[in-house]
């Protein structure tokens, strides 16, 4: 292991004690504690956290929509920080480098999905903040093969959301197969959606946004959307493609109805409420396509970060001190966050 100074032996971290609703009376599901800090393994780095984005997946894990995989796990998978120590086999990073830790934390590397460039479908995949401790903490360890080198210039709180909101939005946009110059419908307009819209606009697309939040509709128009309406409003014209970010299954029929012939709807979330019955003639006939989006590959991450460096999307950040992660999740659950919430050290 390589390090310049004695390493901390423990770190402050939030853990999911017992999954349940956030923002209610009494103790919530998140608990702040001091946790022992292990030295990084041979292929790992130890990172001092500068910022960690607050993702809706964190909310699903905290409230129990997704079953816990690790007892008392620390959430957070949009992590930016600097390398404090590196394992004996690490070649990708040196001490002091800025590193990013994202959702995908490990794959087997040998299954058919991994060998065919679809490691996001690996049955043995593992995830930051679900299988291993994430970034709602002062420090985090990561496998260097799944971490990203990040530039020093941009503020950490503006880089953090790129590592999940940005990457997943990028994959969803690719899955939607938006034709050049086409009209993209975006349902829900939170962290991932407001970045995806800017990437689509930079590619020359037009964007129509559908969300129940008046503040989010204003933001969409400020960012260049051609239309911003309520979640179930009809579009100004048929959509060439659409991405559903809101975890609301009831929006699936509405989005499919809004599609033009041959259009594709990509569902970007890891969790979705039940989808109502679909009418084949209204919703799927004329070669409309419904697709899910599952995690991402490392190639997606590298491609998106390169495109974001060129397009320079504006990241609308609401900053929260790390010790107020529970409040950030409560605000996210209540739709009080416009853009993206990011935790920063006090």
3-state helix, strand, coil in the chain (%, to 5): 30, 30, 45
| Residues 195 and 255 both lie in one domain | yes
Tokens of 201: 């606009």
| Residues 15 and 154 both lie in one domain | yes
For residue range 247-305, list pLDDT tens digits in order: 999 999 999 999 999 999 999 999 999 999 999 999 999 999 999 999 999 999 999 99
CATH code, domain with 133: 3.90.180.10
Domain that holds residue 81: 10-163+316-344
Helix (H, G, I), strand (E, B) or coil at 7: coil
For helices 298-311 and 191-202, the axis angle rounded to 10 degrees is 70
For residue range 97-146, list pLDDT tens digits in order: 999 999 999 999 999 999 999 999 999 999 999 999 999 999 999 999 99
Residue 302 forms part of a structural domain: no
User: In angstroms, rounded to a whole number, what is the distance separating the alpha carbons of residues 73 and 250?
Assistant: 31
Q: What is the pTM of this model?
A: 0.94
User: In angstroms, rounded to a whole number, what is the distance separating the alpha carbons of residues 78 and 251?
Assistant: 27
Q: How many CB atoms lie under 10 A from the CB of residue 97? A: 17
For residue range 167-210, list pLDDT tens digits in order: 999 999 999 999 999 999 999 999 999 999 999 999 999 999 99
| Residues 155 and 220 both lie in one domain | no
| Residues 51 and 156 both lie in one domain | yes
Q: Could you identify the residue written with the tokens 């087997």?
A: 108
User: In angstroms, rounded to a whole number, what is the distance separating the alpha carbons of residues 104 and 81?
Assistant: 17
Q: Could you identify the residue written with the tokens 């990708």?
A: 92
| Residues 183 and 276 both lie in one domain | yes
| Residues 284 and 233 both lie in one domain | yes
Mean pLDDT of 211-236: 97
């Amino acid at each position: 292991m390589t390090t310049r100074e004695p390493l901390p032996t423990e770190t402050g971290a939030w853990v999911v004690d017992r999954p349940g609703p956030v923002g209610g009376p009494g103790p919530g599901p998140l608990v702040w504690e001091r946790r022992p800090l292990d030295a990084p393994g041979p292929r790992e780095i130890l990172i001092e956290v500068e910022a960690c984005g607050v993702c809706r997946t964190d909310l699903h894990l905290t409230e129990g929509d997704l079953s816990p995989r690790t007892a008392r796990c620390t959430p957070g998978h949009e992590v930016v920080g600097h390398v404090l120590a590196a394992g004996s086999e690490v070649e990708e990073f040196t001490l002091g480098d800025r590193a990013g830790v994202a959702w995908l934390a490990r794959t087997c590397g040998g299954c058919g999905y991994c060998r065919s460039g679809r490691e996001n479908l690996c049955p043995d995949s593992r995830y930051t903040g679900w299988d291993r401790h994430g970034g709602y903490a002062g420090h985090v360890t990561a496998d260097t093969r799944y971490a990203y080198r990040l530039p020093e210039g941009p503020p950490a709180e503006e880089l953090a959301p790129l590592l999940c909101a940005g990457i997943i939005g990028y994959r969803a946009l690719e899955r939607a197969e938006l034709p050049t110059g086409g009209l993209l419908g975006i349902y829900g307009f939170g962290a991932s959606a407001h970045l995806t819209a800017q990437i689509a606009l930079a590619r020359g697309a037009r964007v129509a946004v559908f969300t129940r939040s008046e503040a989010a509709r204003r933001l969409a128009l400020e960012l260049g959307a051609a239309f911003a309406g309520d979640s179930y409003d009809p579009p100004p014209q048929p959509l060439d493609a659409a991405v559903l970010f809101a975890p609301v299954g009831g929006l699936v029929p509405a989005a499919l109805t809004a599609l033009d012939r041959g259009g594709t709807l990509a569902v970007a979330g890891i969790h979705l409420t039940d989808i109502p019955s679909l009418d084949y003639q209204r919703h799927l006939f004329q070669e409309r396509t419904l697709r899910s989006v599952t995690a991402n590959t490392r190639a997606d991450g590298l491609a998106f970060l390169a495109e974001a460096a060129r397009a320079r999307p504006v990241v609308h950040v609401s900053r929260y001190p790390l010790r107020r992660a529970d409040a950030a999740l409560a605000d996210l659950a209540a739709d009080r966050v416009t853009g993206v919430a990011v935790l920063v050290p006090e």
